[in-house]
Amino acid sequence: MSLFDEPGASQLDKRKTYLVVDDFDTMRRVTVNQLRLLGAEKIITANDGMEAMRILRNQQVDMVLSDWNMPVMTGIELLKEVRADERLFSLPFVMITAEAERRHVETAVASGVSAMLLKPYSPNQLGQRLERALAVKHRRMVAAAEPEDEAPVPQKESSGFYGVTAPAAPEAAEEDARMTVLIVDDTPDNLTLLGHLLKDEYRVRLAPNGAKALEICSSDEPPDLVLLDVMMPGMDGFEVAKRMREHPNSESTPVIFVTALTTSDAHAKGMELGAVDFITKPINPELLKPRVRNFMRYVQLRKSMQADFDGMVETARLREQVEHITRHDIKGPLAGVLGLLQGMMADKDVTRSQVETFKLLEDTAMTIMNIVNMSSELLKMETGRFVLRAEPVDLTAILRRVAELNRQAFSSKGVTISVAVDGAAGNDSPRALGEGTLCYSLFQNLVKNACEAAPEGSTISITLFDEDPLRVVVRNVGAVPAAIRERFFEKFVTVGKQGGTGLGTYSAKLLSEAQNGGISLAVDDSSNTTAITVTLPRQA
């Protein structure tokens, strides 16, 4: 067994294929080695996201492990590509990153990451995140389970002074939860002194030489901080620090050198090897304890970040289940209601009064459908996971329904809403290629905004131009203020509208672009009018 072997790590399914994506060759090899230690046998590697996508489209892969920062295509761009691909959508995706900013994590979570792993990490932590990520693929249609608690690693009692752990006390379970300090020194008296100073606050581990220190640092449970003597026989402290930086479990472990060397060259060499501080012998206990305490706060912050990452991913998983319930358990029955209403309106025995009632019910159901679309589809569009299922859409019928609904909603303002079709051949109604519910949501948002902005008694015109692509122009009296024209379709941009959220035009932009169309704004100050033009693909 080599110095870095870890027999205690959980085993992965040998039948599954893992794709490791990283532009840094050494890190790729380290990750591959860790996967093999965990039991994986089928491992593929890629230098960047673009190469990874080529592999994914041509080979069977069961899980992706990707670095965040890469040239050509970053990890987050790869994640979005995977989630936007209908065949790869449910593929477990683990993001490995040193990025600790919350906004980066939020981006990954919103984009559909299965699990996140903050560097540095141990094989045990890697195995646990892989297990969670694999579970996501099979839990998309069921309620999300709570994440499994990490199993505590059993600790051995020390049978002598040079044992790995300090002697077990009655409150051993409490001690196991404390932060761990590894003290490395070839002098027993120094080990005794340092261990005695720190044992009340931390779980203390002791190593009498560099080889033992490396064994502990590369184990499944590496220490949180290392107090490392420099002058030791066989392998000095500088060599130990260098070897630590070559292993993923210990590459970022803080090291404080404890040494009698005070030269600038010695300090410079230590800093190059990643030392966070130097403590000069003979040791001053009043300086040692606060220094250790300060660095332990940093270590605890990193651990809290990983816990936060896991919580954010789990919350996103639960949210996705809610979205599925919304889409499936509400939208499905609503579609059935709309079908029944349309069938009843087509019945020759139905009176005109009943038809009007059915139309009102249909509009109400479509409004609810609009809310469903806004809460589920828009999130997928924002994160690049939306898949368009285009079919012929009768835009004329949708525009007329939207106009009628808003006439009733804004009847107190006395606005007139007209719908016209320009250039249609004969009685044929031009059809777009898109999704009917998305088109309804798109134009409902635009016409509602126009009604809110228009003065009382004015006219709002909706004109469908039978061109290729189809063009719909919604025009109203009232010019958009110059201050927001450049940002009109951005999120949360609104002015002068009581209760306005600034989401109506933003969602209209997403809805049009998701259907391979476009949207634009034109303001005529001379006539005090605003016109929004939407283009959508025309059915051939």
- What is the average pLDDT across 15-25? 89
**What is the pLDDT at residue 528?**
95
Q: Which residues contact 418 (CB under 8 A, 6 or more apart)?
A: 403, 459, 460, 461, 462
Residues forming beta bridges with residue 229, ordered by sequence position: 258
Any idea which residue has 């673009």 for tokens?
50
Q: Domain 17-138: which topology?
A: Rossmann fold (3.40.50)
Q: Name the DSSP class of 122.
A: -
CA distances from residue 268 to 239, 255, 259, 292, 321 in whole angstroms, order as listed: 14, 14, 14, 21, 53
Beta bridge partners of 529: 477, 524
Please tell me the least confidently modeled range out of 99-103, 141-145, 286-290, 374-378.
141-145
pLDDT band at 161 (very low <50, low <70, confident <90, very high): very low
CB 206 within 8 A of CB 162: yes
Alpha helices of 383-474 — where are they, by DSSP H? 395-409, 436-453
Whole-angstrom distance, CA of residue 245 vs CA of residue 396: 66
Only one residue has tokens 């404080």, namely 256
pLDDT at 118: 76
- What percentage of the chain has pLDDT greater than the value 70? 76
Q: Which two tokens stand for residue 416?
A: 């007139």
Instruction: Check pLDDT > 60 for residue 148.
Output: no
Residue among 75, 74, 80 nearest 95 (CA):
75
Asked if pLDDT for residue 164 goes beyond 70, the answer is no
- Residue 210, pLDDT > 50, answer yes
What is the DSSP track for 77-117? Answer: HHHHHHHHSTTTTT--EEEEE----HHHHHHHHHTT-SEEE
- Grouping H, G, I as helix, E, B as strand and the rest as coil, residue 488 is coil
The pLDDT-based confidence of 241 (bands split at 50, 70, 90) is confident
Please state the three-class secondary structure of 214-266 as a single string: HHHHCCCCCCCEEEEECCCCCCCHHHHHHHHCCCCCCCCCCEEEEECCCCHHH
* Alpha carbon distance 35, 127 (integer Å): 8
Determine the Cα–Cα distance for residues 166 and 160; give it in Å rounded to an integer: 9
Is the pLDDT reported for residue 248 higher than 80? no
pLDDT at res. 492: 65
Q: CATH for 388-536?
A: 3.30.565.10
Q: Please state the separation of Cα 25 from the chain's center in Å.
A: 25
Nearest Cα neighbor of 449 from 418, 392, 406 is 406
84: closest CA among 44, 111, 105?
111
pLDDT at 367 over 60: yes
In the chain, CATH 3.30.565.10 sits at 388-536
Predicted local distance difference test score (pLDDT) of residue 21: 94
Task: Measure the CA angle with vertex 442, ends 439 and 443; round to 5°.
Answer: 90
| Least confident span in 19-28, 281-290, 323-332, 487-496 | 323-332
pLDDT at residue 8 in the model: 43
Cβ burial 405-427 (10 Å sphere, 16+ → b, else e) = bbeebbeeeebebebebeeeeee
| Res 4: pLDDT | 38
Residue 404 contacts residue 509 (beta carbons within 8 Å): no
Torsion of CA 381, 386, 389, 395, to 10 degrees: -10
Instruction: Categorize the per-residue pLDDT at 120 as very low, low, confident or very high, splitting at 50, 70 and 90.
Output: low
How far is the CA of 487 from the CAs of 36, 174, 480, 528, in angstroms?
51, 56, 11, 19
Burial of 327 (0-12, 13-18, 19+ CB in 10 A): middle
Closest CA to 108 of 48, 162, 67: 67
DSSP code, position 273: T
Helix (H, G, I), strand (E, B) or coil at 394: strand
Q: 458 to each of 281, 485, 496, how far by Cα in Å?
A: 86, 22, 18
Question: Tell me, what's the pLDDT at 537?
Answer: 96
How is residue 327 written in tokens?
């889409």
C-alpha of 70 from chain center = 17
Residue-wise pLDDT for 36-74, tens only, equals 888 888 999 999 899 999 999 999 999 999 988 888 888
Compute and round to an integer the Cα radius of gyration of the chain.
32
Q: Which of 440, 451, 409, 419 is nearest to 512 (CA)?
A: 440
- The CATH number given to 172-283 is 3.40.50.2300
Rounded to the nearest angstrom, the gap between the alpha carbon of residue 299 and the centroid of all alpha carbons in its chain is: 24
What residue ranges of the chain are covered by domains with CATH 3.40.50.2300?
A: 17-138, 172-283
Q: Which long-range contacts (CB under 8 A, 24 or more apart) does 265-272 make?
A: 266/230, 269/238, 270/230, 270/238, 270/241
Q: What is the mean pLDDT of residues 260-266?
A: 69
Position 332 scores a pLDDT of: 66
Residue 513 has pLDDT above 90, yes or no: yes
**Structure tokens that stand for 238 in this block:** 């500088």
162 vs 118: CA distance, rounded Å: 32
As a whole number, the mean pLDDT across the chain is: 78
